[in-house]
Amino acid sequence: MLSKIPAFNLKAVLRETGLAADTLRAWERRYGLPKPQRTGGGHRLYSQYDIETIKWLMTRQSEGLSISRAVDLWNEISASGADPLAGSPPLGINNASTSSNTNETTMSALRTEWVSACLNFNEIQAEQTLNRAFSIFQIEDVCIEVIQKGLSEIGKLWYMNHASVQQEHFASGLAMRRIDALLSASPPPSRPQTVLIGCPPNEWHTFTPLLSSLLLRRRGLNVIYLGANVPTERFAETAMKVRANLVILVAQTLVSAASLQTTLLALTKQNTNVAFGGRIFNLRPNIIDYMPGHFLGNTIEGSIQEVERLLKSRIKEKPAKTASEAHISAMHGFVTKRTLIEASLKKELQPLSISPEELNNGIYFLGNNIIAALQLGDMEHVTEEMDWLKTLLKTHNRAPQELSHFMKSYSNAVDEQINGQGDPIKHWLKNYIET
């Protein structure tokens, strides 16, 4: 553990890090990093942790990140509950010369290097970083610690408007390609069980199901990977055909969690052993109760043991919750009237300065999330999706009035078109607009 006790004055820190005094003061003023304490006389006092924070920021700069992006990365990692310095060995105040060498071989340093190469569209560097990581650490650990966590960091940067769609696509392309190559290079199955893995309808995030396929294949299982957006009936049909011992479905979003539920229901009806996992279940654990099947836990690495347990003996599932009749009836009413609602909304929004493409995206997003939330028995899920959208719009410098105007018009359109069956939607919209 690096000491957080304030022990070093400014001069010692500048000597240790090689940073200019003005730069350090500017970092503190603008970004709040590091956060030195003050002596009674107002002089800065830094801890060993503060010194390592400065070095961490300097290393990110030397890898090509701007200081604001490096600080964002630091904040992102801290916000996720992790310590950005975790994994780096504690360094004494006088052994700075060894610091960069040691740091280079830690997972978090390799991840930062990979992320930064991806953000710079530097394919050679990104591949070399992975090659170096695989030459030091185990395949499973690199896939999780560098590639999966790196992709997750890039996703957060995109959300904060610090990375572009192209950077995210470039990184996920490289990530997928590497996992694919490792999968093709894995030895043939040595165990008799078959595991079928894929995404339910509307789910295009194939990285983690592919990664799970690799990890399970490397344990000798016969894994059949079906990829993105598999229609429910096709999933059920294949599970029967290959006599799958276990089917794993993965969802990252609320909308795909609802289609995952539909697919699980079809599979359990034919008595197939089913399991599931993904980002949305970590974010909203109460959705898990609505899924007929085994939840594989919050992490990919943890899920592997859980799969082994499920393959050993068939574990009885507890019955899944179902949405109330009011929710299901509202869902059917909404599906029937959706086209009319959206048509009157568009008419009302005509004078708005929003592009037709964005308007269509907004309509599609809200409509799909309303249906998913009703299917999963709680309109509050839409509030959380709207919170996500609000932050996204804010970080992309959009005026909040655009969204509130859209929501008011949406509510009017629902009032106009739905009567009788739409109470949960109407209440939610009324509440949402008021608060």
- State the minimum distance, in angstroms, from the CB of residue 248 to ligand B12: 6
Q: What angle do CA 294, 299, 302 make, to 5 degrees?
A: 75
Listed in sequence order, the residues at least 6 apart from 214 whose beta carbon sits closer than 8 Å to its beta carbon are: 143, 179, 182, 183, 186
Is there binding between residue 307 and ligand B12 (CB under 6 A)? no
Rule CB under 6 A: say whether 213 interacts with ligand B12.
Answer: no
Binding to ligand B12 by residue 145, rule CB under 6 A?
no
172 belongs to the binding site for ligand B12 (CB under 6 A):
yes
Q: Tell me, what amino acid is at 392?
A: L
Least separation in angstroms between CB 165 and ligand B12: 8
Determine if 202 is a binding residue for ligand B12 (CB under 6 A): yes
By beta-carbon proximity to ligand B12, the closer residue of 48 and 148 is 148
Q: Taking CB under 6 A as the rule, does residue 148 contact ligand B12?
A: yes
Which of 128, 134, 174 is closest to 150 using CA atoms? 174
> Which of 78, 164, 270, 282 lies at the binding interface for ligand B12 (CB under 6 A)?
282
Tell me: does residue 305 bind ligand B12 (CB under 6 A). no
Mask of contacts with ligand B12, 151-170, x by CB under 6 A?
xx-xxx--x--------xx-
Which of residues 14 and 283 has its CB atom nearest to ligand B12 in the complex?
A: 283
Q: How far is the CB of 161 from ligand B12 (least distance, A)?
A: 11
Contacts of residues 16-23 at CB distance under 8 Å and 24 or more positions apart, as own/partner, are 16/51, 16/93, 16/94, 16/96, 17/51, 17/54, 17/55, 17/58, 17/96, 18/58, 19/54, 19/58
Sign of CA dihedral 344, 346, 349, 351: negative
Pick the closest to residue 17 from 52, 45, 67, 49 (CA basis): 52
- Closest by CA position to 250, among listed 264, 271, 238: 264
Least CB distance from residue 272 to ligand B12, whole Å? 17
Closest CB 292 distance from ligand B12, rounded Å: 16
Distance from the Cα of residue 122 to its chain's centroid: 23
Query: Which residues make Cβ contacts (< 8 Å) with residue 387, sequence separation at least 6?
Result: none
**DSSP string over 261-277:** HHHHHHHHHTT--EEEE
Q: Closest approach of Cβ 126 to ligand B12, in Å?
A: 15
Between 250 and 425, CB nearer to ligand B12: 250
380-399 positions binding ligand B12, by CB under 6 A: 385, 388
Ranked by CB distance to ligand B12, the top (closest) residue is 155
Strands 274-277, 222-225: pairing is: unpaired
Does residue 201 contact residue 263 with C-beta atoms inside 8 Å?
yes
If one asks whether residue 204 binds ligand B12 (CB under 6 A), the answer comes out as: yes
By the criterion CB under 6 A, which residues form the site for ligand B12? 148, 151-152, 154-156, 159, 168-169, 172, 176, 202-208, 212, 250, 252-253, 256, 277-279, 282, 296-297, 299-300, 303, 385, 388
